[in-house]
Structure 1
Amino acid sequence: MKKRTIYELAKEGMILLIHVYQHTASLLLGPCCRFTPSCSSYSLLSIHRFGIIEGVWLTFKRVMKCHPFHPGGYDPVPELLKKS
């Protein structure tokens, strides 16, 4: 049996939390995200694609844009991370 690192456990834990949100709170609140894909789907894809640290950072930046004064619309997870 392969030992998992803390990094892998954190990634799996975050993915589990997002799935729990999608199947509980999100169902109760109804569709309210102004973006496509939804913020929770964006978060899952960004964590799968880039790992926990970069994925959570992209999710944070996305959620900060999710307010009534932003037009929303199509905002996909980037294919590659920009190095700044």
Structure 2
Amino acid sequence: MKYVLIGCIKLYQKIPFNSHSKCRYIPTCSNYAIEALNVHGIIKGSYLTIKRILKCNPWGGFGYDPVPKILGGKNEK
């Protein structure tokens, strides 16, 4: 199932760039999702991805926001 989600994300990334809005974060939300799924699995990775997408708005933050290596750790916001 994880690989199906990652495949869907990679397919989304192939859509011409001008149809995507600019991501406020580094790595981009789609790259973040792939890494989160690979590091934390489907449940925790999906949770982190949804949390990240909800932060990505005009009133949210911006800049470097890596996938936390340990959930609940210091670098998870």
State whether TM-score is above 0.5: yes
The structure 2 residue matched to 1:72, chosen from 45, 59, 62, is 62
2:11 equivalent to 1:20: yes
Write the distance in 2 (CA, Å) between the matches of 1:45 and 1:71: 20
Kindly tell me the number of residue pairs found equivalent between the two proteins. Answer: 73
Whole-angstrom CA distance in 2 between matches of 1:59 and 1:74 = 15
Alignment match, 2:2? 11
Q: Which runs of 5 or more residues in structure 2 are unaligned? A: none
- Note the aligned Cα RMSD (angstroms): 1.6
What's the TM-score, normalizing by structure 1? 0.79
* Cα shift at 1:81: 1.2
* Alpha-carbon distance in structure 2 between the residues aligned to 1:67 and 1:50: 24
Give the counterpart of 1:43 among 29, 33, 50: 33
| SS of 1:68 mapped into structure 2 | coil
Q: Percent identity?
A: 40
The equivalent of 1:60 in structure 2 is 50
TM-score, length-normalised on structure 2?
Answer: 0.86
Matched with 1:5 is none
Matched with 2:24 is: 34
Question: Which runs of no fewer than 5 residues in structure 1 stay unpaired?
Answer: 1-9
